[in-house]
Amino acid sequence: MDKHAGPTSHDIVRDVRRRMPRGTKVGHAGTLDPFATGLLVILSGRATRLADRISSRQKSYRAVIQLGQRSETGDPEGPITAGGPLPSAQDLDNAIAHIGQRTRQQVPAYSAVRVDGERLYQRVRRGETVALPERDMEISHCELVAASLDAGLVTLDITVSKGTYIRQIAVDLGEILGCGAYCAQLRRTAVGPLLVDNAIPVARVPYDEPIALTSLITDIPHYLIGDASADGIVHGRAIALDGPNGEGALISDHGQLIAIARIQDEMAFPTTVLFGPDDL
């Protein structure tokens, strides 16, 4: 889906579920903040079993960052206060290069991460002082796309690992520069191989050109298996399979993604099964 600014990711899931046949499972593979737009991967039916795998992939964004101001939430929701003097172009380039090398990130105070069993934002809104946890992260791409330093506006294209907060990158950039910053606009452009250019609006659900599940699993080898092997897999049994140790996608003769399997010593052990015995 191509999410617009305003609704939560859960709002989009709810809207999609209302348009699907009653009882259809619907979920998403990676939250977008309400102010953010762009690619929200919605999974329905048996595809929901791939949510963790898809959400773990790298994600790409275009972020518009406002320098010279600070936001308590790191985004336009604020409250927003004045920061310091705007930087030079050279200082900005140096700060972006520094940000791109970081491998750890402090979780934003206004986030849904749980600390001692409760969401961070709930504790912060009660006025509690909470030690913010840190997470590993990887920034594989960070490029300056445009800058209007007179207005304090900077546009970055960023590709990051799962769980990385772009609004925190904006805040950190502002602190490196000493002027403060927040993420004014954020658009997700890709999740792994899935691109926002191919996304659809909620109004087109149910979609008459569904994406084949096999196209969502491009990071591991694909293996064709016959009907007898497929029957064994959906019943939870291991099957003989000639392939190197590691993960594999098991594809039926009809082109259906039957399961994800762990392959060891020429045996395939199902780990995520998408079909039941009555579905084949």
One-letter identity of residue 192: G
Dihedral angle sign, alpha carbons of residues 31, 35, 39, 42: positive
Cβ neighbors of 90 (< 8 A, separation 6 or more) are none
- Note whether 160 and 105 are within 8 A (CB): no
- Residues 259 and 50: their CA atoms lie apart, in Å, by 10
Closest CA to 260 of 275, 246, 270: 270
- Note whether 260 and 250 are within 8 A (CB): yes
The catalytic residue positions are 33
Longest dimension (CA), the chain: 70
- Note whether 61 and 160 are within 8 A (CB): yes
- Note whether 280 and 231 are within 8 A (CB): yes
Residue in the block written with tokens 């399979």: 241
- Note whether 70 and 83 are within 8 A (CB): yes
